[in-house]
Amino acid sequence: MSQLRGETARLLAVFQSAGAIRVEADILQPADVLLDLYGEDVRARAYVTSDFLHGEQMLRPDFTVPVVQRHMAESAEPARYTYAGPVFRSQDTGSGRAAQSEQVGYEVFDRGPADEIEAEVFALFHQILTPLGLKASTGDVGLLIAAIEGLTTSNARKSALKRHVWRPLRFQSLLLRFSQPVKEKVLGAGGQLIGLRYASDVNERLEQLADEASAPPIPQSEMDALNDLLAIRGNLPAAFAQLQFLVQRLPSIASAVDHMSARLTALKEAGVDVAQIGFEAAYGLTAMEYYDGFVFGFYADQAGWPAVASGGRYDALTRVLGQGRDVPAVGGIIRPEFTLRLSGGDLL
Amino acid sequence: MIKLGVPSKGRLMQETFDWFSMRGVKLSKSGSDREYVGRVDGLVGIELVLLSAGEIPRELAAGRLHMGVTGTDLVHEKLANWSDVVSPVAEMGFGLANLIIAVPAWWCDVTCLHDLDAIAARFRAEHGFRLRVATKYHRLIRQFMTEQGVADYQLVDSQGATEGAVKNETAEAIADITSTGATIKANHLRILEDGLVLKSQATLWHSKVAQGDCSALIDKVLNAP
């Protein structure tokens, strides 16, 4: 335990020397905020507890939400924060993850050049973690979002796709649906008007369905290009070359690819050997809802280990929590239990 | 002594007794009709334990029961790792019921999960909270919705009369067990085309945790003429 404390203190000190101020967060978090943000799924991974006075509370599943809330309340910018402590993960789905584990994090709220801030955060994690032999994987959710924007299809279909970017199965089934001629919908029989949903809502949706019935399928060439985008993987320079080539077929990703180019330059300037960094266009699309740009993870060559560190850009989350205000945000966490084991330390 | 857990009340108890009796094991309530003590004839070394069907999964998982009769739905809902701790010995052919998702019948634009997901985003924007699904099968429904990629909903707990939740405006949709669908219909609801979550029936389970040799009972009920 004392070695774990030492490792946590060491990581906090690295982040503090990078300019972060240390912040704390309550272990008990109000459940409604987390439920509103992450939806019902969060119950499968967070411990829910309750008392008769305060109602439902959750043992914090991560620090991101309280740190963003704190920042939004004080809103001095730019700001860099670091924190450390336990997070809790319930065992509903048999994920094999520890119920309680330590995290040390670093979060940057800064309206400066996006590519430079992403490179700063990544380079800092990289400098801490590569000496331990960890491999980095990266991705950029912004590419997929830009590709969706550029599809030849209705705005309704584009927003449906964007809403499900983080649910790959649903996303693929929507894409399949939108790439075929619309099947005529057999409507359900009527009945007594019960419940809170407005009748005007049903009528509007019926109109939408009527519009939808004449919507042309997304062209096959665009479907192919989108699937080619999702299949891109390789080391960072190689993946970047593939993306530059793909811009001809997916012009809407041009500015996202330019952003990636600027980030690549910034990473090199920060001393990162980019040829050693992995890139997958589909990285981060399964478990990282609200990461909506650059995403990264560091992995050990050990079966059954989670990512030793992970993070990315989550502007969308600040928009939801900020109720009208938002702030560009990039950050990540390290699991000190695992960095300690890699450096030969003892958890006991 | 092998402990056999059986639902303590009503039709489920009677049908369980009949099922065992046809296989040469006679189960009965001893003492007065109100006392939850049972006896077993036709096989020695078996103790009959009468308890609520909802508690049988937990008792099997804890190893306090060696064998037990309860629905597939209850085992899958209450035991996250059910296949590690219990194994099905026989499906008993009664207590047949489907766990389904139903919406108000007048929502003529909602016939499948795709529609439910599509209207959920709009409902949330308009009402300021997520579309509510009333159920007591929280784990199974959450898992199903995640697999199917339905977002922007929330589960609200309903331990009984769930079909009335929409009319009472405590939920917009429901997820519950139904055998004939009559209660669903009577409450102005309609089952979604792809809203079948689980087919359930009364099943005889064997605890993988309990210490003891159940082979005599298993052989007898499986190899009955």
Contact A167, B149 (CB under 8 A): yes
Domain ranges of chain A: 1-134+330-348, 136-182+202-299
Question: In CATH, what number does B2-96+201-222 get?
Answer: 3.40.190.10
Which tokens go with A5? 């404390």
Residues of chain A in Cβ contact (below 8 Å) with chain B: 35-36, 39-41, 43-44, 91-94, 160, 163-164, 167, 169-171, 173, 177, 185-198, 201-202, 205-206, 209
Average pLDDT over residues A69-75: 85
Reply yes or no: is the peptide bond before residue B88 cis, omega within 30 of 0: no
pLDDT tens digits, B183-210? 999 999 999 999 999 999 999 999 999 9
Structure tokens at A88: 């809790």
Residues in B closer than 8 angstroms to A173, CB to CB, are 114, 149
pLDDT at residue A1 tops 70: no
**Residue whose pair of structure tokens reads 């912040």 in the numeric block:** A23
A241-288 pLDDT per residue, tens? 999 999 999 999 999 999 999 999 999 999 999 999 999 999 988 766
Q: Is any Cβ of chain A less than 8 angstroms from the Cβ of B180?
A: no
- Tokens found for residue A321: 């929590």
Q: What is the CATH number of domain A136-182+202-299?
A: 3.30.930.10
The 10 Å Cβ neighbour count of residue B3 is 20
**Nearest residue in chain B measured CA to CA from A200:** B107
For A193-211, b/e burial (b = at least 16 CB within 10 A) is ebbbbeeebbeebeeebee
A-chain residues near B111 (CB < 8 A):
185-188
DSSP-based helix, strand, coil % in chain A, nearest 5: 45, 20, 35
State which residue of chain A sits closest to B192, comparing Cα positions: A188
- Of the candidates B110, B151, B154, the beta carbon closest to that of A188 is on B110
- Residue A115 DSSP one-character state: H
Residue B125 pLDDT greater than 70, yes or no: yes
Vertex B140 angle, CA B180 and B168, to 5°: 60
Confidence label for A90 from pLDDT (cuts 50, 70 and 90): confident
What is the distance between the alpha carbons of residues B133 and B101, in angstroms, rounded to a whole number? Answer: 9
Statement: residue A95 has pLDDT above 60: no
Q: What pLDDT score does A18 carry?
A: 96
pLDDT tens track for A138-178: 999 999 999 999 999 999 999 999 999 988 889 999 999 99
What stretches of A67-176 adopt beta strand conformation (E)?
79-88, 100-109, 135-140
- Residue position matching structure tokens 């070695």: A3
Burial pattern B56-88, b for ≥16 Cβ within 10 A else e, equals bbbbbbeeebbbbbbbbbbbbbbbbebeebbee
- Measured in angstroms, the CA of A39 and the nearest CA of chain B are apart by 6
C-alpha span between B141 and B37 (Å, rounded): 35
The overall average pLDDT reported for chain B is: 93
Q: What is the structure's pLDDT at A92?
A: 61
Domain boundaries, chain B: 2-96+201-222, 97-200
The reply to whether B2-96+201-222 and B97-200 are identical in fold is yes
Q: What CATH number belongs to B97-200?
A: 3.40.190.10
Instruction: Select from A196, A220, A96, A145 the least CA-distant residue to B169.
Output: A196
Q: Which amino acid is located at A197 in the chain? A: R
Rounded distance between C-alpha atoms, residue A40 and residue A37, angstroms: 9
Up-side HSE of residue A16: CA atoms within 13 Å toward CB? 11
Q: Where residue B168 falls among pLDDT bands split at 50, 70, 90? A: very high
Contacts of A93 by beta carbon, 8 Å cutoff, 6+ apart:
A44, A45, B80, B143
Range A1-134+330-348 has CATH code 3.40.50.2300:
no
pLDDT for the residue A94: 56
Confidence (pLDDT) at A53: 85
- Find the range with the poorest average confidence among A54-58, A222-226, A254-258, A320-324: A320-324
Please give the C-alpha separations between residue B30 and each of B9, B41, B52, in angstroms, as whole numbers: 14, 11, 17
